[in-house]
Amino acid sequence: MRKKFIAGNWKMHKNKTDALLYLKDFKLNVKNVTDTEIVLCVPSTLLSVVNEKVKDSNINLAAQNIHHEESGAFTGEICAKMVKDFVNYVVIGHSERRKYFNETNQILNKKVNLALKQSLKIIFCVGETLEQRDKNETKSIIETQIREGLAKTTVSDLINIVIAYEPVWAIGTGQTASPEQAQEIHGFIRQLIADLYNNESANNLRIIYGGSVNPKNAAEIISQPDIDGCLPGGASLDPESFAKIIKA
């Protein structure tokens, strides 16, 4: 049975003081949760302080991004080897990175393979825009994102990858794909993984949903057979709200 996976993406929010206050409440709220893998995706400035506070707890840590080169003259960037000191996971392919920073499937594939080289686990995000959905291109877009983004990965690599389906039109908008809509795409992704790798890998793969998840809709979304968790953004910024999603 696949263990539930819930990751909260803080995006560009919180400083050290905010993070310490958050963790004080959040750790208490989730300390007895054993059936769910909990991950906090925090800004790079907070990786060190949050890492210290979640050690020996049931909370894992993720970097929100890495550069697509191993090292070099890239002022202001952060590479896989750097974040490895603090995190278990890294988020790759988030729609905001694709949209605002022009990250192509080829760039994301470089990031994926560099992360795996550093023994990092990956939350790999895929999803379609509203325009693409209206043109009935959802499945072809997602298939391309997975085929090109996960190119050169192996069956053994797949153990360290979580795929997050995040319809772009539902991120930060208050709109949410219905549980049935989300399940359809999650089922499609699982079958695609079976075709690209094998049935066992597909059955073991955790596929999570991101897109305006909140305490009110989380339980219904996660109850779908191919949805193994979620990736809330705004709802993860409040420790009580995020704890309610985890316990949904």
Please give the model's pTM, rounded to 2 decimal places: 0.96
H or E stretch covering 19: helix 16-30
- The single residue listed with the structure tokens 């990175």 is 97
Q: How do the residues of the chain divide into helix, strand and coil, expressed in percent and rounded to 5? A: 45, 15, 40
Q: Catalytic positions, please?
A: 94, 166
Residues of the chain with pLDDT under 70: 172, 174
Q: How many angstroms separate the CA atoms of 208 and 227, rounded?
A: 5
Q: What are the tens digits of pLDDT across the range 4-37?
A: 999 999 999 999 999 999 999 999 999 999 999 9
HEC readout, 130-197: HHHHHCCCHHHHHHHHHHHHCCCCCHHHHCCEEEEECCHHHCCCCCCCCHHHHHHHHHHHHHHHHHHC
**Per-residue pLDDT, 212:** 85
How many domains is the chain partitioned into structurally? 1
Domain CATH code at residue 201: 3.20.20.70
Domain that holds residue 167: 4-246
**Residue 136, CA atoms < 13 Å, CB-side half-sphere:** 0
Beta bridge partners of 208: 164
